[in-house]
Chains A and B, each alone.
Chain A
Amino acid sequence: MNDGLKIGLGRRYRFSASHRLHSSRMSEEENRRIYGKCNNPYGHGHNYVLEVNVSGTVDPATGMIANLADLDSFVEREVIEPFDHKSLNEDVAAFRENVPTTENICKVIYQRLKHFPKARLERVRVEETGNNTFEYAGEEL
């Protein structure tokens, strides 16, 4: 339907993971000063909420941009399975050298989801706690 309107779809997922904020580019003291208790050596965890926003054409036969089962299984495979109940620093290769702040988690998740074949990824939003939310929409914004 070419009426100049854009239709998006948002879906929320959850994963729980631990992390430690520590940068190898800074001294121990600087790490403690900048990251505070997030620098505690054994790490700590959060219940993360991931909101994935995609857009696309609504198929008139189904009324859908993308079948939710397809989106769910893609997000499950790309993000939930590798992140849930894991140590982000130890278990996710992208965070070996890259501090797993929620900013960086957003960017890594965006990279993993942007190839979703059935719709266009618009942005990802990650809630680290109910009070902290981060969003990433690629480099165009």
Chain B
Amino acid sequence: MVYLTRKLEFSASHLYHNPALSAEENKRIFGKCNNPHGHGHNYTLEVTVAGEPDPVTGMVLDLKELKEILEREITQRMDHRFLNYEVAELKGQIPTCENIARVIWNLLEPKINKGHLHKVRLYETADLYAECYRNGAHGA
């Protein structure tokens, strides 16, 4: 099995607010991420696909094809957007790194049919990421 990883960056704004909680609870749990007008990040996404290289092309999946999938499914949907209001898949969820990573997994998994999606890792800053992978798959 070979693992290939492609990176992409997008910039988006978000805020953390749960309408089921009081204003004080929101402030206490989410701190400055609860600021009402939101704030933004430069996100870095790493998408790892696992598979056996095709004997003819030597590729698990053509990187051009992966790039197009990422452009269509992720960049167009999330880049320069307000995640709470403009990304339908995040409706009703707090757009934390954990939840965005799961949404990205669910968007990409059905589209990758050479090899298979192994892991999605989303950096919100250089020091914080969330990742999503199948139970039982190793995290590396």
- Using CB atoms and an 8 Å cutoff, list the residues of chain A in contact with chain B: 1, 4-13, 53, 55, 58, 60-65, 67-69, 122-123, 137, 141
**Inter-chain contacts of A141 with B (CB < 8 A):** 138
Asked, given contacts A62-B29, A69-B31, whether A9 binds B97 with beta carbons under 8 Å apart, the answer is: yes
**Inter-chain contacts of A55 with B (CB < 8 A):** 139
* A8 CA to B137 CA, complexed, in Å: 12
**Inter-chain contacts of A4 with B (CB < 8 A):** 134-135
B64–chain A nearest beta-carbon distance, Å: 27
A63 touching B95, Cβ below 8 Å: yes
Please name the residue on chain B nearest to A11 by beta carbon.
B128
Number of cross-chain contacts by CB at 8 Å: 78
| Cβ 8 A contact of A10, one of B30, B31, B96, B130 | B130
Q: How large is the interface on B (under 10, 10 to 19, 20 to 34, 35 or more residues)?
A: 20 to 34
Asked, given contacts A122-B139, A123-B139, whether A63 binds B93 with beta carbons under 8 Å apart, the answer is: yes
| Cβ 8 A contact of B20, one of A53, A61, A68 | A61
Q: B133: CB under 8 A from chain A?
A: yes
A67 touching B29, Cβ below 8 Å: yes
Asked, given contacts A8-B130, A9-B130, whether A63 binds B135 with beta carbons under 8 Å apart, the answer is: no
Q: B18: CB under 8 A from chain A?
A: yes
B102 touching A5, Cβ below 8 Å: yes
A11–chain B nearest beta-carbon distance, Å: 6
* A126 CA to B101 CA, complexed, in Å: 24
A63 touching B98, Cβ below 8 Å: yes
Asked, given contacts A6-B134, A12-B128, whether A63 binds B16 with beta carbons under 8 Å apart, the answer is: yes
B135 touching A7, Cβ below 8 Å: no
A53, A62, A141: which has the most chain B beta carbons within 10 Å?
A62
